[in-house]
Structure 1
Amino acid sequence: MDAQRGPIMINRSLSRVLALTALLVTTLGAVVAAGPPTSAATRPPRIFKNVAYAEAQPAGTHGHLLDLYLPAQPATTPRPLLIVMGGSGWFADDGKGYAPALAPYFTAHGFVVAGVSTRSSQQAKFPAQVQDVRAAIRWLGANAGRFEFDPGRMAALGDSSGGWTALMAGVGGTGVRAVVDLYAPIDFLRMDEHMLPGACAAFNRTFHLDACHASAMSPESALLGCPILICPERVASANPLNRLTPAAPPVLIIHGTQDGLVPLQQSRQLFDGLAAAGVPTTFYTVPGVGHNRNIVSADAGRATVRVAGERLIPDAAHPTYAVIESFLRAALLRGEASSLPHR
């Protein structure tokens, strides 16, 4: 990199990160402002913040931290665990920041919630993020008794790149027994062909790119450390579909029709791949909703539901926290005679 080009590329990269961060903060703010469903109990959970599941790499970063949210009442029997990871296009190391939006509902309904952060693509390249979530799950399993949950009943949930991380954990033999994926990128090389009309142009303007997701500086290229068009082997290794087996856990997919960042077709491909592998899967397509966590809301339009394999939840008009809870309970109970603790 020459002396003049260096500052320009750094400034563009910083601008892209700041723009994406602003978008995600706005989205999360809307979710937090909306609050948990009114059926959630009012007693706040017990919270353990900034617990280190590994050493910081690099020093001073946050991708090695997790937060734990326990129901207000101490457990008499171990509870199920929901691992939550927020998306940032892999540009941030604060994925645990999504958990506070879900914790009030799920702790009130008998779950322990763990918000987990992984390293950003600026700090470490793929597969570091998969290694991080695996390390977090190992740490959680080793400390299950301390935090009152059953290591045999762990589920993972994430949105966007956090959904990708949840899927990679689920198909990676980590012991995760259910996955909830909100509009995750799946097949990086096919994203651009399915973008909504005008979405690539807006994507380029917002993040100072020149070729949409195929850009050398796109979130996907930054994750892999190479332009995705010239490193197909690395792209393939980052595709959850290439790791699917019939042993994969059940998956709940939720995606909006107006998503201008991750095209709906990505989730269609995921559903088809899971169905072909014989994995129980439920897919909610929500009309009129973009790349936004408010997709989990009764205010969204009536969803289209597709189900593959064993039916884990009944059809519902909207994907809500209650729908996710029903899916998790059914998935975690598959093949077991015991029941999960309720509220």
Structure 2
Amino acid sequence: MHNPTFQRSSGWALLKCAAVAFVVAALAGCAQRPATQEPATAPAADQEALVMLPAGALTEAQLLQHPIRYYLDLPYAGNDNPRQRLDVYVPEQPSYVPMPVVIYLHGGLWQSGDKAQAAERMLGLVTSGDFAVVAMNYRLTDEAQWPAQLHDVKAAIRWVRAQSNRYGFDPQRIALWGHEAGGQLALASAMTNQAQDMAGNLGAYTHIRSDVAAVVNYSGITDLNALLSHAGSIDRASSTAPEALLIGGLLRENSDIASAASPIHYVRRQAPPVMSVYANRDQVVPEAQGRVLHQRLEEVGTEHYLVQLTTAEENTPNAVTADSPWAQADQRALAFLQRVLLGHLVTVDTQSIE
């Protein structure tokens, strides 16, 4: 595997803004919204307590305490649909010029979830200075069925690549990190890197490629048809099963569409490196979904890593405690990204996490 040497910056002064020098001194950090928005102001403590945010989301007052810049609710598909917007988080002093990018795809069984959930979970990647993070929304099943969600992801990747100069992104080092439904979308997008017929035509940048360099997959469904034979807490034969809502019909009656929405269907030798994490007691996404993918990637010779959580009973929440099994998994994922995107000679630990 080719690991190029990347340029480190000594400060990247262009990202700093003299107008926030006072805030930097006062908060020992800097965070900014886009220049086109009103300056961020910290709400009063009693007001902040009333704000209802998704699990893992951070208030602007909390974001302002970190050495980052952030840009919220940017449209990536050329319209005003709130489900086709993204947030950008970049380090105030990047370690690399240009920066590798991790695009985060939230979970929620394609029925719920929000890009704001990425803030706390991904903040460490940004504050390390090594990565920029882009958190995206995608259309849910109450609005659109497959492959609309995949087309959203592809459009967001193209947007990131098109905006490389503006935000300091490295268009050659883009990774996807997805949880549950987001894991399925991340895998499906990465496994179809070279498939132009799968890219859709959303947004202004359809001439730009939508391939990625790596995938972190947490509890992503890999084979929709196989769910019918996998034990779990959801009746996958039902018309209200999340997968049935995704493809617009019963799995048993639409096996062809289910296959088209299954990442394992697209695995090829040229697939990018993948790291997967599954909990062996997860009743929502059976661990068998990870083993099926692992075996297929093994067959084609793609660099891949599978980590099992033996104590976690369900999908990871977006906010995790420092000593939780999922926090340990995050450290494995960080090592994977350092290896694949930064070229570090590190080993990715695949021993089970208890």
Q: Structures share a fold, TM > 0.5?
A: yes
Once residues 261 and 276 of structure 2 are traced to their aligned partners in structure 1, the CA distance between those partners, rounded to angstroms, is 18
User: Are the aligned partners of 2:57 and 2:116 in contact in 1 as well (CA < 8 Å)?
Assistant: no
The aligned runs of 1:207-286 (5 Å cut-off) are 212-286=235-309
Once residues 180 and 135 of structure 2 are traced to their aligned partners in structure 1, the CA distance between those partners, rounded to angstroms, is 15
The alpha carbon displacement at 1:46 in A equals 0.8
SS in 2 for 1:230: coil
One-letter code aligned to 1:216: S
1:74/1:157 Cα in 2 relative to 1: closer, same or farther (>3 Å)? closer
User: Are the aligned partners of 1:297 and 1:321 in contact in 2 as well (CA < 8 Å)?
Assistant: no
The aligned runs of 1:49-64 (5 Å cut-off) are 49-56=72-79, 61-64=81-84
Once residues 322 and 276 of structure 2 are traced to their aligned partners in structure 1, the CA distance between those partners, rounded to angstroms, is 16
User: Are the aligned partners of 2:178 and 2:184 in contact in 1 as well (CA < 8 Å)?
Assistant: yes
Report the counterpart of residue 323 of structure 2 in structure 1.
299
SS in 1 for 2:110: coil
Report the counterpart of residue 332 of structure 2 in structure 1.
323
User: Are the aligned partners of 2:176 and 2:216 in contact in 1 as well (CA < 8 Å)?
Assistant: yes
The alpha carbon displacement at 1:321 in A equals 2.9
User: Are the aligned partners of 1:163 and 1:182 in contact in 2 as well (CA < 8 Å)?
Assistant: yes
Provide Cα deviations, 1:5-62, integer angstroms capped at 9, x if missing partner: xxxxxxxxxxxxxxxxxxxxx9x63x569xxxxxxxx734211000000144xx6x42
The aligned runs of 1:177-196 (5 Å cut-off) are 177-195=213-231
User: Are the aligned partners of 2:57 and 2:120 in contact in 1 as well (CA < 8 Å)?
Assistant: yes
One-letter code aligned to 2:186: A
Once residues 298 and 110 of structure 2 are traced to their aligned partners in structure 1, the CA distance between those partners, rounded to angstroms, is 28
The alpha carbon displacement at 1:75 in A equals 6.8
The alpha carbon displacement at 1:214 in A equals 1.7
The alpha carbon displacement at 1:189 in A equals 1.9
Report the counterpart of residue 8 of structure 1 in structure 2.
none
Once residues 292 and 242 of structure 1 are traced to their aligned partners in structure 2, the CA distance between those partners, rounded to angstroms, is 24
The alpha carbon displacement at 1:238 in A equals 0.8
SS in 2 for 1:51: strand
Report the counterpart of residue 131 of structure 2 in structure 1.
111
The alpha carbon displacement at 1:104 in A equals 1.8
Q: What are structure 1's unaligned runs of at least 5 residues? A: 1-25, 34-41, 204-211, 304-317, 338-343
Once residues 264 and 324 of structure 2 are traced to their aligned partners in structure 1, the CA distance between those partners, rounded to angstroms, is 28
Report the counterpart of residue 171 of structure 2 in structure 1.
151
Once residues 115 and 145 of structure 2 are traced to their aligned partners in structure 1, the CA distance between those partners, rounded to angstroms, is 19
Once residues 280 and 269 of structure 1 are traced to their aligned partners in structure 2, the CA distance between those partners, rounded to angstroms, is 15
Once residues 247 and 224 of structure 1 are traced to their aligned partners in structure 2, the CA distance between those partners, rounded to angstroms, is 27
Q: Provide runs of 4+ in structure 1 moved above 4 Å.
A: 294-298
One-letter code aligned to 1:175: D
Once residues 297 and 278 of structure 1 are traced to their aligned partners in structure 2, the CA distance between those partners, rounded to angstroms, is 35
User: Are the aligned partners of 1:287 and 1:300 in contact in 2 as well (CA < 8 Å)?
Assistant: no
How many residue pairs match? The answer is 271
User: Are the aligned partners of 1:69 and 1:103 in contact in 2 as well (CA < 8 Å)?
Assistant: no
Cα RMSD of the aligned pairs, angstroms, is 2.7
1:129/1:32 Cα in 2 relative to 1: closer, same or farther (>3 Å)? closer
Q: Between Structure 1 and Structure 2, which shows a larger proportion of helix residues?
A: 1
Could you tell me the TM-score, scaled by structure 1's length? Answer: 0.73
The alpha carbon displacement at 1:231 in A equals 0.8
Once residues 137 and 278 of structure 1 are traced to their aligned partners in structure 2, the CA distance between those partners, rounded to angstroms, is 25
SS in 1 for 2:341: helix
Provide Cα deviations, 1:129-188, integer angstroms capped at 9, x if missing partner: 111110111111000111111010000001100011111111121321110000011112
SS in 2 for 1:293: coil
Provide Cα deviations, 1:59-111, integer angstroms capped at 9, x if missing partner: 6x42210000011226771111000010111113x542232023320011211
**Residue 158 of structure 2, aligned match among 116, 119, 138:** 138
The alpha carbon displacement at 1:193 in A equals 2.5
One-letter code aligned to 1:88: G
User: Are the aligned partners of 2:183 and 2:218 in contact in 1 as well (CA < 8 Å)?
Assistant: yes
User: Are the aligned partners of 1:84 and 1:98 in contact in 2 as well (CA < 8 Å)?
Assistant: no
**Residue 99 of structure 1, aligned match among 118, 128, 135:** 118
Identity %: 29
User: Are the aligned partners of 1:85 and 1:98 in contact in 2 as well (CA < 8 Å)?
Assistant: no
The alpha carbon displacement at 1:230 in A equals 0.2
SS in 2 for 1:321: helix
SS in 2 for 1:63: helix
Could you tell me the TM-score, scaled by structure 2's length? Answer: 0.70
SS in 2 for 1:213: coil
Once residues 113 and 66 of structure 1 are traced to their aligned partners in structure 2, the CA distance between those partners, rounded to angstroms, is 10
